[in-house]
Every structure is written in structure tokens, then in C-alpha cells.
Amino acid sequence: MASAVEPHEKQDCGHDDWHHEPFSAHHFDNAEQQFDAGKLGIWLFLITEVLFFSGLFCVYAVYRVSHPEVFEYASQYLNKYLGGLNTLVLIFSSLTMAWAVRCAQLGQRKGLITMLSITLFCAALFLGVKTFEYTEKAHKRLLWAGASVDAKDIGKAENSQVFRLGDPNDPKNFKDPNKFEERMMKSLVTIQNYGILSLLIPAVLIGIGYQRNSRPWRTTGYAGLISIFAILIGIFISIELHNMQHGGGGHGEQASAEHDGEHASGSHEGSDHDSHDEGKAHSEGEAHAASDTDSADHGHADENAAPRNANIFFSIYYFMTGLHGFHIIAGMVAITWLLVRAVESHFRPDYFGPVDYVGLYWHIVDLIWIFLFPLLYLIGS
């Protein structure tokens, strides 16, 4: 929230005095001082962002050192190809953002609008891919540590119920690997349907914009249109990529790893139920690893089984990528705001601070992902 609001706070200072000297706030001596102040401000803000994430990288480092086997094991459940796609998308968006700053400096209004729109599209595409990844993991029960544990098992007070997606002990949640694809697709279709439905919102905005003859409303509407559209495309691409890996026979390393996991639980299902009860709990899941804290030796005995506390990896994964995703959304809001102002021709070669500041913010968000991607997706054998 803070980051979404902050760039506005910072650069909006001048609105009172628009008519005299566009966008220069009264308390600054001159435009140069104002630009310098804004620039220093945004750099300081970026430092706080980096420190904010550095706390999480510390958590990552601490657990990576103390539980290396967890990271080695659990990271194979992340899809490198989707992660890689997202990395490329973000790097490309950084390029377009830098290009947008250049356009603003040169006073090229059309170039600026185009580049900002592409950046916005990329940001939303990233979110689309992420939506697919989260949905897939939710259906595979690859969730954070507490998601598969009853509140009272970890000594939580009764009224501080741990949030869970469904009942972890409900067998239909993960026992049937064949139906997993089906269920996941069903969820994705639902998400897509809602996405298409939500296109109404930008449509209404555009409508209002035309009716009132207001460019800012229209621009906001178009920005929303681009975003939702890109999210849908992101989901679609991810599904295609997923199907290529699984259906098309050309198994990547990743795909086979996933299949191993699924087959393991599947084969147990077919075999002796009673005697392998404990082992099954482990092999079908990572999801169960944390709940069976006292039967750790079972886990180590079985090669395929998840190491103890494997879900800590997913706790870290969800928290870090979730927070990063939140920053992407904040960035999209900021870019939309820039688009509105760019359409209004606010930016000139002698006044382009806001584009510069949001650009810097966007680069830092990309940079964080560039650290996240190898640390989460590319570890393990």
C-alpha cells in the first residue's frame, strides 16, 4: 500500500500552482532543486524497499543453511520454465521502462505512451503466469507449513485458527493424481471467466470517459483493459507451456520430477494401504511433512519422501513471491498514473521526474525478481 501511494505523494506536490509554473511546488527554489529532491527521495525509498526484502533474504539464508535438504527437495516442485518466462518478461519490461524514461526526456509523447503501455502489459503478464503457478501449487497441496496442520496440533489458541485451504486430511484433496489436472483446469477456467467478467470495469471506465469527454478516465480504462487482458494471456500461455511439458511427451527435467512425486503417491495408493500408511503420508506429500514431526526417521528412510519441515520452503516461496507480486501491483498502479499524465502531455524535457522515479522503482522490483528466480527455482540438482 505504502509503495503505491508513495510516488504520488512525492511528485504531486505542485498541483496547486499548475497555472503559473507547471508542476513546480512553491517551497522549492527552482525545478532543478525539485528534481534533485525527488530523485534523492526515491533513492532513499528504494533503499527501504531493499532492506524490506533483505529481511526475507536473511530468512532464506538462515533456513537454506540450516535445512539444505529441504530446499534441494522442494525446489524441484517449482516450474523453471514458467519462472524463466517471467524473468524474461520482467527484463523486457525493464527495457521498455528505461525506453519510456528516454522518451519522456526527449519529449516524445507517443513513444512514452507506447512504452508505458508495453511495460504495463508485461507486468500484468507476469501476474498471469504467477496466477497459474499459485493455482497449480494450491491443487498439489504445495502450501506453507501451517496449511496442512490443525491449529491445535501446534498449540495455537482455539480462536486463533490457522487459515487453511480445505481440510488437509480430506483424501480427495490430493489422493487422486489423475484428477489433479482436471481440478486445476477447472479452477483456472473459473479464474479466467472471472477475469473476462472483470473486463466490465475498464469498459465502464472508458464509457464514463467518453461520456464526460474526460481523457484521464479513458486512459485509466484502457490501462485496466491492457492489464486484465495481459493477465488472461499470461494464464493461457502458462497452460500451454504446462501442457507441452506434460502432454507432449517431451519431458523436461522438471516435468519428470513432478511426475515422480505424483506417481509415488499413486503407486502407494494402489499397493498395501495399511502397512504403508506412514510412508504414504510422506511420499504424497510434502504437504504432510510438517505435521508428522515425530516420525522424522520414517521420512529419511524413504528416498522419495519429503524431508522434515519441507513446507518451510513453500512458506518462504509464498511470502517472498507474494510480497514481490504486491510490489508489481503497486508498480502497475504507478504506471497507470504515469500513463494518465503522459496522455495529458504533462511531461516535457524539463519536467520528467515522475517517469524517472517510477522507472527506478520498477527496476528495483525487477532486480528483486532476478534474485528470487535463481534462489527459488534454480537450486537443487
| Binder of another protein out of 23, 67, 122, 235 (CB under 8 A) | 67
Closer residue to another protein, CB minimum distance, 99 or 317: 317
Min CB(236)–another protein separation in Å: 30
Which positions from 151 through 210 interact with another protein, judged by CB under 8 A?
151, 153-160, 162-163
Site string for another protein, 323-342 (x = CB under 8 A): x-------------------
The answer to whether the Cα torsion of 332, 336, 337, 341 is positive or negative is positive
The answer to whether residue 25 forms part of the interface with another protein (CB under 8 A) is: yes
Whichever of 122 and 316 has its CB closer to another protein, that residue is 316
Size of the site for another protein (CB under 8 A): 59
Q: Is the Cβ of residue 357 or residue 369 nearer to another protein in the bound state?
A: 357
Which residues between 81 and 140 bind another protein (CB under 8 A)? Answer: none
Q: How far is the CB of 199 from another protein (least distance, A)?
A: 31
Minimum CB–partner distance for residue 148 and another protein (Å): 9
The residue (of 153 and 350) whose beta carbon lies closer to another protein is 153
Least separation, in Å, of the C-beta of 46 and another protein? 11
Binding flags for another protein, 31-60, as an x/- string (CB under 8 A): --x--xx--xx--xx-xxx-xxxxxx-xx-
Residue of 371, 319, 316, 329 lying closest to 127 (CA atoms): 329
Among 18, 21, 30, 62, binds another protein (CB under 8 A): 62
Q: How far is the CB of 190 from another protein (least distance, A)?
A: 23
- Kindly report the number of other CB atoms within 10 A of residue 342's CB atom: 27
Rounded CA separation 346/368 (Å):
30
Which residues sit at the interface with another protein, rule CB under 8 A? 2, 5-6, 9-10, 12-13, 25-28, 33, 36-37, 40-41, 44-45, 47-49, 51-56, 58-59, 62-63, 66-67, 144-147, 149, 151, 153-160, 162-163, 290, 293, 308-309, 311-312, 315-316, 319, 323
